[in-house]
């Protein structure tokens, strides 16, 4: 049975816990919260009132403990996730606050107030950490709305007091390539995207990235940074649909394509305590920008690309419902019309944005990568060639037809994926050139292929269910299932793949695994113990996927191929093992190992899903933006002397029965 299920990673508690762990690890943010909490408690005490705090989404209970330490009389700490609520209870007890803090394991909208309720009185201080990259995506607005109606007093203090959303309109070929399929040049021919894709407003989900890692040289600002709207959390909040517009004068000529967005939190009414999510390139000293991971920045793609001229009077509009934001651009002259008919929420009508992720769009639009596949296909195609493509939503079968293959078949994993490729074929008058089959590889028969034998089996390979780099070895299993349909001299593209590794020092990503210990004077070690227990899950002792272009790291060893997989042969019955070591050649703290796959299309053409350039003398790495790499974190960092006397020893075992790659690392002298 070839179904790809052996390549799907099972979620473990580690990933959920890491989100909360990241919050505790971001010290500057905690410091700002503590300052805001002290100020809010002091304002209530100055009015001669007792201080009753409601902390929604308490996590570890850190903010509740801050409130009690600041002088609050009592705190109701609400946490819906049971393991986290249990950890919070343990932390509160460990710090001696159990008589002042009540942990309520409920969703805040289920909390009751009264003599027999969860809360005996309504709170006069509201503390929350309900935000995500988009500010409101974790349900902040409905939670605040309910809290003001049911759980807090009129005129309560709130920490944070206010949030402000900012946006900047830009032109960016890089970012736009994540939203729209671009024409593809194939040896004098041109593959054009379907009109429906070009007209489509795209997927509605926010694209959250580390904008600090998007170089300002890769976009052209068309507007200043605009203040879009603010939410005052100390007053009743509405989760109803709203629109906000800001007028500006275009700063330069260009194509309006993308809106970059982030937000600030003002912890106090006067705005003197500010926690900003602004990317580092907005700072006068970018290296002083704090690291964020749970709260990053957002990229929004406009429904349509439009030309703007320097000096144009324009209006940028943001709309939001209870969970999400979307943007649109209008000339100022259209403002009255826009007010009558606010921009509708984007919705994919072409299906491509439902089949392809943003990074997948970028991969399909990568000209250099496409050229590698064109050259490789050209070298193996024959005039009587019959090709079979095995990859999800791939352009390879279309390219093979353009290069002159006599017949091309393609296996598609879903009806929607098939329909997207059909649109591409129709847009390029190739509907009869490629036959799309919704058949599993092991179920494919000679009849499905019209009696043909396959002379070229090809794949990128790409599968939508793949999370870790080696999950695309599913192609090897497909090749094995299809072996009876291949000609004896059939070409397989790629012919092989190799797993690569190098030991790295992360600039910041290590923080998601670092113990919190003592945070702002509070002992949160029970949280560390909880995370450590979660690491005992099998999945947590293995690698996890991360887009390393967003998380800078330094190479402390050379990169090396540690395993090779020969696709010209069937998957073997016995495990494949590999052992070796890599000496440390640079000084630093080794946090773990980065892993990726490289696909050898032919003997001299290779496509990498990891490193895409040479490592600098200092160890700086350039990573592919198209696929996530694997990261294996060491339990504790190791100091690298950089003189070659220490090394990373590795052991890998590929299990054919499951598709798993077992790995183990140690530091040896």
Q: Which of 24, 26, 79, 129 is catalytic?
A: 129
Annotated catalytic residue 442: no
pLDDT recorded at residue 9? 37
Q: Taking each helix axis as running N to C, give the angle between helix 525-534 and helix 13-25, from 0 to 180 degrees, rounded to the nearest 10.
A: 150
pLDDT-derived band of residue 227, with 50, 70 and 90 as boundaries?
very high
Alpha helices in 123-170 (DSSP H): 140-150
Nearest in space to 325 (alpha carbons), one of 387, 404, 242: 242
pLDDT recorded at residue 22? 47
Q: What whole-number distance in Å separates Cα of residue 147 and Cα of residue 130?
A: 13
pLDDT tens column, 51-78: 999 999 999 999 999 999 999 999 999 9
**HEC per residue, 357-411:** CHHHHHHHCCHHHHHHHHHHHHHHCCCCCEEEEECCCCCHHHHHHHCCCCEEEEE
Q: What angle do CA 204, 310, 173 make, to 5 degrees?
A: 45
Q: What whole-number distance in Å separates Cα of residue 350 and Cα of residue 416?
A: 10
pLDDT tens column, 319-355: 999 999 999 999 986 555 545 678 888 999 999 999 9
pLDDT tens column, 109-147: 999 999 999 999 999 999 999 999 999 999 999 999 999
Burial 201-225 (b: 16+ CB within 10 A, else e): bbbeebbbbbbbbbeeeebbbbbeb
Indicate whether 16 pLDDT > 80. no
- Length, in residues, of the chain: 669
pLDDT-derived band of residue 15, with 50, 70 and 90 as boundaries?
very low
Q: What whole-number distance in Å separates Cα of residue 381 and Cα of residue 375?
A: 10
Give pTM, 2 decimals. 0.93
Annotated catalytic residue 129: yes
Q: Give the percent of the chain with pLDDT over 70.
A: 94
Q: Quickly list DSSP for 71-105.
A: T-SEEEEE--SHHHHHHHHHHHHHTT-TTTEEEE-
Q: Which of 93, 138, 539, 622 is catalytic?
A: 138
Nearest in space to 594 (alpha carbons), one of 663, 537, 526, 659: 663
Q: Side by side, which strands form the sheet with 242-249?
A: 242-249, 313-320, 325-331
pLDDT-derived band of residue 25, with 50, 70 and 90 as boundaries?
very low
CA quadruple 24, 28, 33, 39: dihedral, nearest 10? 150
pLDDT recorded at residue 404? 94
């Amino acid at each position: 049975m070839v179904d790809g299920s052996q390549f799907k990673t099972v979620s473990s508690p580690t990933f959920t816990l890491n989100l909360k762990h990241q919050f505790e690890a971001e010290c500057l943010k905690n410091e700002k919260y503590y300052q805001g909490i002290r100020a809010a408690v002091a304002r209530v005490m100055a009015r001669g009132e007792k201080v009753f705090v409601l902390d929604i989404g308490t996590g570890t209970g850190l903010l509740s403990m801050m409130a009690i330490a600041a002088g609050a009389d009592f705190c109701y700490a609400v946490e819906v996730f049971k393991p986290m609520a249990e950890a919070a209870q343990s932390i509160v007890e460990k710090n001696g606050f159990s008589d002042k803090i009540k942990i309520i394991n409920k969703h805040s909208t289920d909390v009751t107030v009264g003599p027999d309720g969860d809360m005996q009185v309504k709170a006069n201080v509201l503390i929350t950490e309900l935000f995500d990259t988009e500010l409101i995506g974790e349900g902040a607005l409905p939670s605040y709305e309910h809290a003001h109606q049911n759980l807090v007093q009129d005129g309560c203090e709130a920490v944070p007091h206010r949030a402000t959303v900012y946006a900047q309109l830009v032109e960016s070929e890089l970012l736009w390539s994540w939203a729209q399929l671009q024409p593809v040049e194939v040896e004098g021919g041109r593959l054009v995207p379907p009109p429906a894709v070009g007209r489509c407003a795209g997927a509605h989900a926010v694209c959250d990235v580390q904008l600090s890692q998007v170089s300002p040289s890769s976009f052209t600002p068309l507007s200043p940074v605009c203040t879009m709207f603010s939410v005052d959390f100390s007053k009743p909040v509405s989760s109803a649909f709203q629109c906000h517009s800001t007028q500006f004068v275009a700063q330069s000529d260009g194509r309006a394509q993308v809106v970059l967005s982030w937000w600030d939190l003002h912890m106090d009414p006067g705005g003197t305590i500010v926690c900003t999510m602004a990317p580092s390139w907005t700072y006068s000293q970018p290296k002083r920008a704090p690291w964020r991971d749970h709260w990053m920045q957002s990229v929004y793609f406009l429904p349509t690309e439009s030309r703007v001229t320097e000096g144009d009077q324009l209006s940028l509009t943001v709309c939001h419902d209870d969970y999400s934001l979307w943007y649109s651009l209008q000339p100022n002259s259209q403002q009255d019309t826009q007010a009558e008919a606010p921009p509708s929420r984007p919705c994919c009508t072409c299906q491509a944005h439902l089949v392809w992720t943003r990074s997948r769009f970028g991969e399909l639009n990568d000209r250099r990568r496409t050229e590698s596949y064109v050259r490789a296909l050209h070298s193996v195609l024959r005039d009587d060639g019959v090709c079979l493509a095995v990859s999800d939503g791939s352009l390879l079968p279309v390219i093979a037809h353009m290069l002159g293959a006599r017949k091309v078949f393609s296996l598609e994993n879903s009806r929607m994926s098939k329909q997207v490729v059909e649109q591409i074929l129709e847009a390029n008058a190739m509907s009869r050139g490629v036959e799309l089959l919704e058949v599993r590889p092991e179920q494919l028969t000679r009849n499905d292929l019209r009696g043909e034998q396959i002379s070229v089996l090809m794949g990128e390979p790409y599968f939508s269910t793949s999370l870790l780099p080696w999950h695309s070895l599913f192609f090897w299993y497909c090749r094995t299932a299809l072996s009876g349909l291949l000609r004896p001299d059939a070409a397989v593209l790629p012919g092989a793949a190799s797993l690569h590794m190098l030991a790295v020092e992360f600039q910041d990503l290590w923080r998601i695994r670092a113990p919190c210990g003592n945070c702002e004077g509070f002992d949160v070690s029970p949280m560390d113990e909880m995370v450590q227990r979660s690491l005992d899950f099998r999945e947590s002792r293995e690698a996890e996927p991360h887009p390393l272009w967003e998380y800078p790291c330094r190479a402390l060893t050379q990169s090396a191929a540690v395993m090779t997989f020969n696709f010209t042969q069937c998957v073997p019955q016995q495990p494949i093992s590999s052992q070796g070591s890599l000496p440390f050649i640079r000084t630093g703290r080794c946090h773990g190992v980065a892993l990726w796959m490289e696909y050898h299309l032919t003997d001299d053409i290779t496509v990498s899903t990891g490193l895409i350039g040479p490592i600098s003398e200092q160890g700086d790495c350039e990573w592919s933006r198209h696929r996530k790499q694997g990261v294996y974190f060491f339990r504790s960092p190791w100091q690298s002397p950089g003189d070659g006397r220490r090394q990373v020893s590795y052991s890998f075992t590929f299990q054919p029965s499951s598709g798993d790659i077992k790995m183990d690392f140690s530091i040896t002298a």
